[in-house]
Amino acid sequence: GRYSMLPRHVQRLGRDWITHWNGCQILAFNSPVSSCMRWAGHYPPWASFPLPISADFSANWRFPPFLGPWRQFQNSNWHLDNYTQSCCFHLPNPSMKSEGEEPLTKKRRLSDQDDTSTPEQETNLSNQKEVSCLSVAQKEEKHGSKKGTIKRHWEYFCQESKTMKIAKNKGSNQSSTGNQATFDFTVMSYNILSQNLLEDNSHLYKHCRQRLLFWTYRFPNILQEIKELDADVLCLQEVQEDHYRTEIKSSLESLGYHCEYKMRTGRKPDGCAICFKTSKFSLISSNPVEFFRRDIPLLDRDNVGLVVLLQPRFHCKANAAICIANTHLLYNPRRGDIKLTQLAMLLAEIASVAPQKDGSFCPIIICGDFNSVPGSPLYRFIKEGKLNYEGLAIGKVSGQEQYPRGQRILSIPIWPKKLGISQNCVYEINKRKQQKEENAGENLEAAKPDNTQEIVIASEKLSSKLRHHFKLSSVYSHYFPETGIPEVTTCHSRSAVTVDYIFYSAANDDTAAQPGAEDSFCGGLKLLGRLALLTEKDLWTVNGLPNENNSSDHLPLLAEFRLIER
């Protein structure tokens, strides 16, 4: 038979996922054993079946004699933590308001000194195991047996939004209502965790069961999240190129999305994607942004951005447009100079795409993983539109480290003149080309003011003040108002923090906008609602990220907007 190499009494063990404890003590526990045993997700490589583990598993136990020679077991890649991590945790209530002390899973993870596994061992995953994990995931999905689901509620900022969302859930279509005066849409920002980056940084996922980290398990979960949240616009980061080409793009197109993609430069296999429903928008232009510049030593990183201009359908104004940008800035906490320069390049591209015929900017939404925390200088620059970086250490720009290791002070200016971007985060090159065209054929006397303007631009470059022309507000407040506990957008073995954002140009009557956005240019976006975030404690209740149902180490951000007429 299949287990002919095993002793007969081992073959007689139950081979289903559930086996009853009919009084025969196979394992000796110091605490009472429950009447039902379940199979753990990890087991030694020499075992052709999962080992039974009790729900009341105790650390005080001994191996039974039937498990074979001790030396063979000792040489296997087995750890106590693998068994304890297989537990499925349930949330106390739908709003994720967990109480009590710090989750035991995290305590065990932080205090465990006996785990001798290495990242290389954890990422040595065979194709055979991957296929078996896929079948397990499909079986669980078929029977609806997934546990530990994260419950996130929708936060409304006006009763009208709640009413419209209920109507939408009942199947009504905005285009068929005949109301052409308003245009409502939803936007999601989601770092889906590139499989290559996951395997290269396996030390961040030591709390996860191995089968949850296979792409064949993760992608169905990610796609299901996208289906359930049903956003009109998707801004995705860490989209691996081969996965995008073979399955992500086609899967999203089958859901009614048109996809635009920009792969990172160099040898980096992932990139950013912006996908929108063709039933809601049409594409005006797509503008990729590469932050790598071969001629500028500062810009030696392969991060990218993507800026699209979309035209809403079912809207009264034929020339209405919305500018949506997506990016994933450099991670390195000690290189705030590169982060600020990459951000300036993205803002310059937006400034060149978003202007309308009357000189004003169309509504703007900026999504992405900015690798910066709320309140950091980079975050404040985005929201306030200005930053004086004189004397600022490069390690403090993003606020990622409590005790920054990068102590070098930012140079003035941060980026060289040859980049062609001013301290106001707009392209200078286009301005000069336009001036040359306008001044063609004029005499030398008329050209003198241009030389003066060049001097002004040069002196501006020596200023330590950065500015941009957008009045932006954040969809999320980053702290829960009742408790002051921070919201979290990413959670893994090393940290749990907010680094993902959705910024938008708020309309004058947007009550959800933060202070400072009220003087926004006429028109803009009104925030109608958002999908609530969670605390770190909430996430460790379901063993952090990724977990059984959430297959990225980031949470998706989702917001609903209304386009306001100018």
Q: Please report where in the chains the tokens 């004058």 appear, as a residue.
A: 508
Q: What is the pLDDT of residue 521?
A: 45
Query: Which residue type is seen at 557?
Result: L
For residue 361, count CB atoms less than 10 angstroms from its CB and return exposed for 0-12, middle for 13-18, buried for 19 or more: buried
| DSSP for 121-173, written as a single string | HHT---HHHHHHHHHHHHHHHHHT----PPP-PEEESSHHHHHHHHHHHTT--
315-334 as b/e: b if 16+ CB within 10 A: beeeebbbbbbbbbbbebbb
Per the omega criterion (within 30 degrees of 0), is the bond before 546 cis? yes
Per the omega criterion (within 30 degrees of 0), is the bond before 413 cis? yes
Are the C-beta atoms of 272 and 327 separated by less than 8 Å? yes
Q: Which helix (H) or strand (E) holds 40?
A: none
Q: What is the pLDDT of residue 42?
A: 43
Are the C-beta atoms of 168 and 545 separated by less than 8 Å? no
The whole-angstrom separation of Cα 89 and Cα 80 is 18
CATH architecture type of domain 154-164+181-427+463-564? 4-Layer Sandwich (3.60)
Distance separating the N- and C-terminal Cα atoms of the chain? 76
Q: Which helix (H) or strand (E) holds 55?
A: none
Per the omega criterion (within 30 degrees of 0), is the bond before 363 cis? no
The whole-angstrom separation of Cα 130 and Cα 212 is 10
Strand partners, 502: 367
Q: What is the mean pLDDT of each run of 10 residues along the chain (566 residues)?
A: 50 43 40 39 42 42 44 43 40 37 40 43 45 45 56 87 56 45 93 98 97 98 98 98 98 98 96 98 98 98 98 81 98 98 98 94 98 98 98 97 90 97 91 50 47 46 88 97 97 97 90 54 84 97 97 98 87
Three-state DSSP class for residue 253: helix
What's the DSSP call for residue 212?
G
Residue 198: CB partners within 8 Å, gap ≥ 6?
205, 213
pTM score: 0.71
Query: Which residue type is seen at 483?
Result: T
Are the C-beta atoms of 525 and 507 separated by less than 8 Å? yes
The whole-angstrom separation of Cα 138 and Cα 131 is 11
Q: What is the pLDDT of residue 405?
A: 86
Q: What is the pLDDT of residue 429?
A: 72
Q: What is the pLDDT of residue 262?
A: 98
Q: Quote the tokens at residue 87.
A: 């537990």
The whole-angstrom separation of Cα 485 and Cα 374 is 13
Q: Where do the DSSP E strands lie in 224-263?
A: 233-240, 257-263
Q: Please list the helix, strand and coil fractions of the chain in percent, rounded to the nearest 5, in that order.
A: 30, 25, 50
Kindly list the domain boundaries of the chain, sorted by start residue.
154-164+181-427+463-564
